[in-house]
Amino acid sequence: MPGRNPFAKDRAPKTPTPGDAQRPPMPKWAIWVIVSALVVALFASQFVSRPVGEKLSYTEFLAQVRDGKVVEITINNSTNTIEGTFRNGGKFITTGSASLSDADETLLKENQVDYDYVTPQPNWIASLVPILLPFLLIVGFFVWMQRRAMGQAGNIMSVGRSRAKPYQADKPSTTFADVAGYDGVKLEIKEVVDFLRMPERFREIGARVPKGILLVGPPGTGKTLFARAVAGEAGVGFLSVTGSDFMEMFVGVGASRVRDLFQQARKMGKAIIFVDEIDSIGRKRGAGLGGGHDEREQTLNQMLAEMDGFETSEGVVILAATNRPDILDPALLRPGRFDRQIVVPLPEYEERLAILKVHSRDKRMGPDVDLETMAKATPGMSGADLANLVNEAALFAVRRGSAVIERIDFENARDRVVMGARRESLVLTAEEKRATAYHEGGHAVLATVLPHSDPLHKVTILPRGMALGVTWTLPEERHTYSREYFEDVICKAMGGRAAEKVVYGHLNSGAANDLEQSTNIARRMVREWGMSDRIGPQAWNSQQQVFLGEDLMTSGREYSDSTAQLIDEEITRILTEQEARAIEVLTKHRKGLDLVAEALLEHETIDGPTVGRLVQQALDAPSHSEV
């Protein structure tokens, strides 16, 4: 017969019998009922046969016999218990010796008392316990060993199964209404949701839905929150998994879990697979120190084949999130796999305001809280940072003993998030406190008078985080920066060092972080942004990380030694010029620097308008004069 395996045995279909019908498994409580019944049967006879009646001493019993009040007695040979009946029908019980003496027997006969000796029969269940108990213990031990072995074998056999968590479409926990702002991101993701709900609408015109959508953005911008919102809005099967769930010590486990994941999705018909932190398995192949057969690369190969291989997965859309798209394999980002990349950036002012409203709607807010002002004062914060800000404000309100969250709580929370927690235990000497006041005063004065600097918000000499003092400016909403802006940033960072030179004539170690920040900006101005006239319009990115393996066998530098020397000279020139500029400006505004330092020593914390007023008072001129 064509297509028949000649080595296969013919098996006739088994005729089902009534005994083959599947019975429902016995519930666990039934086992306890059976055990309880056996225990009751074992001890019931002892409770049932327990003697009842008036308890008498043996002397009282003999006295009752002499008075002729006893009719009959029964003597238990096992327990020496004597049970009897009075002539009035009452019962009594007493305890005697193993056998009646001759005098007692004579007394019973003289008073016409019937007596009899009985030996109770033992419970047949109790007699079987010594025989059955060892046998039951041995059987139970072997059953326990068998179940333990089967459980271990089951764990080994299930190691290749996917660990994705399915979500029910009829019980959404998060929707797009819970995601504040990001209307453009919502629009692009809604296209996928609409295709899964109404595929005919797209097929009529010949449109093809993207198979994969990659959410790219800094940490805390809400990429995972968008995935949860898709799970609530899609109305189809949703499987959530992280990239690390595919990694195991066994070779081939990751690829097996990928196959099982897509099989689960295909069984749902229409489904969305969300892979969080996909960069853990999607890194560039052939770039690491290992060979081409390591577990991570095999997992990535299987995912590439499942997304757009020989067998396509219709109706299955993959949604992934990462904050490191530069290290992903190019094959993963090509059309047909992750067709679309959606950038989830840091929120703008309107989006920050909407996020603050979402996280504040279930909290008690005081009448003086202005979320619009707080949204303007938190540029650069992500959605997670804003959520943490609202929570910190609530904690500050609880510590104050307030029933509502007030503006002061938000101010304290913002200071804690941005500048760090205040170190109450750190006590500065008078000289250290004065040096810190002039150091921070130098930053504050330069932030006030430099034309391209960000507005000064607050300056304090209270130790916060790892710093002895903090000068805080509020960056304005901008997307491009000029060379003059970066020069003012470097000059402002040099303000603390310059103030120490102007006032004390020597330096200390307090400007280490300022120098690090200034050097990084100057290096990027020369190497990446083309802001050096001697270097010209050239750019070299930062050196790749070693774990990518791209620079392991190379020198890690794309320019000659002479160019490297020129780059170092330009970086040194920028830093030296801005330090000299900071010294010049602070020398010109020395009176204003002294006033700001004195105000810091007196109040410890002053705001930006106060600094501007002090500088203007010293010069009797507008605070933003030409420098």
- Residues forming the active site: 440
What value, to the nearest 5°, has the Cα angle with vertex 327 and ends 324 and 330? 120
Q: Do residues 468 and 510 lie in contact, with contact meaning Cβ atoms separated by under 8 Å?
A: yes
DSSP state of 72: E
- How far is Cα 259 from Cα 305, in angstroms, rounded to an integer? 10
Residue 232: alpha-carbon gap to chain centroid: 20
| Alpha carbon distance 502, 430 (integer Å) | 19
Distances in Å between the Cα of 290 and the Cα atoms of 15, 295, 594 are 57, 10, 61
Instruction: Report angle CA 123, 125, 127 to the nearest 5 degrees.
Output: 75
Cα(455)–Cα(439) distance, rounded to whole angstroms?
18
Q: In what order do the strands lie in the sheet with 340-343?
A: 165-167, 237-242, 271-276, 316-322, 212-216, 340-343
Residues in the chain: 627
User: What dihedral do alpha carbons 206, 212, 218, 220 form, nearest 10°?
Assistant: 100
Q: Are 209 and 138 in contact (CB under 8 A)?
A: no
For residue 310, list its beta bridge partners. none
Q: How far apart are CA 92 and CA 329, in angstroms?
A: 96
Residues 6+ apart with CB under 8 A from 418: 472
Residue carrying structure tokens 């797009």 = 176
**Residue holding tokens 């010049």?**
584
Closest by CA to 393, choosing from 376, 371, 424, is 371
Strand order in the sheet with 456-460: 470-473, 456-460, 605-607
